[in-house]
Amino acid sequence: MFKLFKDGLHVVKYRTLWLCLSALLLTPGIVAMIYSMINYPTHSPVKVGIDYTGGTIMQYGVQDDVKSSQVGKIRSELEADGVTGTYIQVLNVNPTTENNNIKSIISVRTKFIDEGSKDAETITNVVSKEYKNAELIQVSSVGPTLSSELFKKSFIALFIAILGIIIYVTIRFELKYAVTAIGGLLHDVLFVMGIFSILGLFYNVEVDGLFLTAMLTVIGYSVNDTIVTFDRIRENLRYYGKKMTFSEIVDQSVNQTITRSINTSLTTFLTLAALYFFGGVTTKDFVLAMMLGVIIGTYSSIFFCTMLVDLWEEKKQKKIEQQAA
């Protein structure tokens, strides 16, 4: 069913093709990230939300169909009432009886509203004046101390995760596999972050604490996929190590595991897609990040990581030959 080529897939032979494809996939995202780092006041590669900058978001559900162009009015009214620097977004949702027939969610983001500040009431008043039946459905607030701490913790978590995987794969396999698995992992993380960087630039998609969770899950998933392929290479090496070249074994292993790789990714993707299209609004971006991660993780474990392992082995063989000569 998934035989892409009649006599199997040639990972090693078309190495340049896969390298170019990866470059093609990654470049737009990397450009967007560099652009963002230069232009955003936070100097972050992606647009970051209140989890990392601190701030307050108040969300109101309204039964009218609000257009994005209408939020300017709310903003100017807020300015008049002394609440400056707000950022307002409108999300359209399907009205149901469960959500009181809410058609749009207006979310107002401001700097962190401290205890005792009247800003929260001002915002509620302005929104309620503009839209009858506006219902405050969610308030999220992150103070400046916590946000910088979250930022630091995120980096530590990412670092420890990568380190842990290197150690685990080195113990179970070899350093060669560990390093290439990490190569694939960085490939996947860069891709997903790149896409979110682009989304941030064009659609104002912001990254929150859940995004980090999605990234770490993508890392786990990506390595998971890669390990299955490597496990097959390891097994085949034991049986055919003397009869076939390393490249042939890599190709054979990829072909033996490709159906599995695609099928498991499909099952995971199906569940995520159900969540994305029918699940709650709050976790949408989180699920999107994981969907992208699953797709790119499958690609990288089939094409990218295996190619890297082969490249590594080839370099090693050349060195041995040179030393012999």
* Closest to 194 (Cα-Cα) out of 48, 1, 30: 30
List the structure tokens of 134.
């506006």
Part of the chain binding another protein (CB under 8 A), chosen from 29-37, 188-196, 284-292, 311-319: 284-292
Residue from the set 81, 135, 174, 313 that interacts with another protein by CB under 8 A = 135
Nearest CA to 293 among 217, 234, 241? 217
Please pick, from the candidates 63, 128, 213, 245, the single residue that binds another protein as defined by CB under 8 A. 213
Q: How many Å separate Cα 89 from the centre of its chain?
A: 22
Q: Which of these ranges, 30-38, 40-48, 235-243, 316-324, lies near another protein under the rule CB under 8 A? A: 235-243
Beta carbons within 10 angstroms of residue 240's beta carbon: 14
Closer by beta carbon to another protein, 198 or else 290: 290
Which residue among 20, 160, 175, 320 contacts another protein (CB under 8 A)?
160
List binders of another protein among 6-25 (CB under 8 A).
none
Q: Counting contacts by CB under 8 A, is residue 96 touching another protein?
A: yes
Q: x/- contact string, 43-72, with another protein (CB under 8 A)?
A: ----------------x-x-----------
Q: Which is nearer to another protein, 32 or 294 (CB)?
A: 294
186 binds another protein (CB under 8 A): no
Chosen residue from 90, 136, 179, 295 binding another protein by CB under 8 A: 136
| 23 class by beta-carbon count within 10 Å (0-12 exposed, 13-18 middle, 19+ buried) | exposed
- Confirm or reject binding of residue 256 to another protein (CB under 8 A): yes
The CB density around residue 22, as the number of other CB atoms within 10 Å, is 20
Asked if residue 309 binds another protein (CB under 8 A), the reply is no
- Interaction of residue 283 with another protein, rule CB under 8 A: yes
Cross-strand partners of 135? 61
Verify binding: residue 172, another protein, rule CB under 8 A. Answer: yes
Separation between Cα atoms, residue 48 and residue 113, nearest integer Å? 18
> Which one, 113 or 198, has the nearer CB to another protein?
113
Q: Which of 66, 134, 182, 290 lies at the binding interface for another protein (CB under 8 A)? A: 290
Does the protein bind another protein through residue 232 (CB under 8 A)? yes
Site size toward another protein, by CB under 8 A: 78
Tokens of 114: 């401290």
**DSSP secondary structure letters along 201-266:** HHH---B-HHHHHHHHHHHHHHHHHHHHHHHHHHHHHHHHTTTS-HHHHHHHHHHHHHHHHHHHHH
